[in-house]
Amino acid sequence: MTIGAIASVQRSFLPQALAEFHQRFAACRTRVIPGLSMDLVNQVDAGEIDMAAIIRPPFSLHSDLRWTTLVSEPYRLIVPADTLGDDWSELVSAHPFIRYDRSSFGGRQVDRFLRQTHVSLREVCELDELDAIIKLVANGVGVALVPETASSQDWPAGVRSIDLQQHTFHRDIGLVHRARRSLSEPVQALVELINQQALNKH
């Protein structure tokens, strides 16, 4: 069985779900394929992988694909721990901005948010890997808008997170797979286990 998964899912609820799965289906072999959400949804659609844990696509899925939302992750502004102030728009305008890559589904959400709020910013870096963005902020390079994932609820010592209050937006993480009637019993079981672990983590 082949499962696609974005990095934040591999670091949070997928390992425990796989551990429970292999206890129940000892004869099954699983392979986890890393990747970006866009690439992974295309691989499910093409039948190259059985399912994928990804960010919800900003478009409708083909009729034979199914979406199951696992968690809804709120975006936060993260700043170096010694940065003063709690007004997110002032902080974004006043400090160098590290951008979540616009070619990713999550990065598109940030881009749309910034356009809608008309915040002026000075962009210094753009990248897709959330851990790298968090480390850049911890090292004082700038501020960033990132989702609060199950693995990032305890931010590193050098980072402080700021609630966007009424401007808070979310990224939905979920599973995309074929219609259940066409799924084998092990695949259906893993879908359920991932769902349970996602609920436990939040």
Residue 168 has pLDDT above 90, yes or no: yes
Q: Which of 39-48, 64-73, 152-161 has the lowest mean pLDDT?
A: 152-161
Judge if 77 and 164 occupy the same domain.
yes
pLDDT for res 151: 64
Helical spans, DSSP H, in the chain = 7-11, 14-24, 37-45, 88-94, 105-117, 130-138, 185-201
Is 135:67 a contact under the CB 8 Å cutoff?
Answer: no
Residue 139 has pLDDT above 70, yes or no: yes
pLDDT for res 199: 79
Average pLDDT rounded to a whole number, residues 45-70:
90
| Confidence grade of residue 201 (pLDDT, cut at 50, 70, 90) | low
Average pLDDT rounded to a whole number, residues 56-61:
88
Q: Which domain holds residue 166?
A: 72-170
Residue 119 has pLDDT above 80, yes or no: yes
| Confidence grade of residue 13 (pLDDT, cut at 50, 70, 90) | confident
Residue 15 has pLDDT above 80, yes or no: yes
Judge if 149 and 78 occupy the same domain.
yes
Residue 187 has pLDDT above 90, yes or no: no
Judge if 119 and 182 occupy the same domain.
no
Judge if 36 and 120 occupy the same domain.
no
- Measured between alpha carbons, how far is 82 from 100 in angstroms, rounded to an integer? 22
**Residue whose entry in the numeric block shows the structure tokens 């994928």:** 52
| Confidence grade of residue 202 (pLDDT, cut at 50, 70, 90) | low
Judge if 35 and 62 occupy the same domain.
yes
Average pLDDT rounded to a whole number, residues 57-80:
91
- Of the candidates 121, 112, 114, which has an alpha carbon nearest to the alpha carbon of residue 93? 121
Judge if 67 and 102 occupy the same domain.
no
Residue 183 has pLDDT above 80, yes or no: no
Judge if 80 and 160 occupy the same domain.
yes
State the total domains in the chain.
Answer: 2
CATH code for the domain of 101: 3.40.190.10
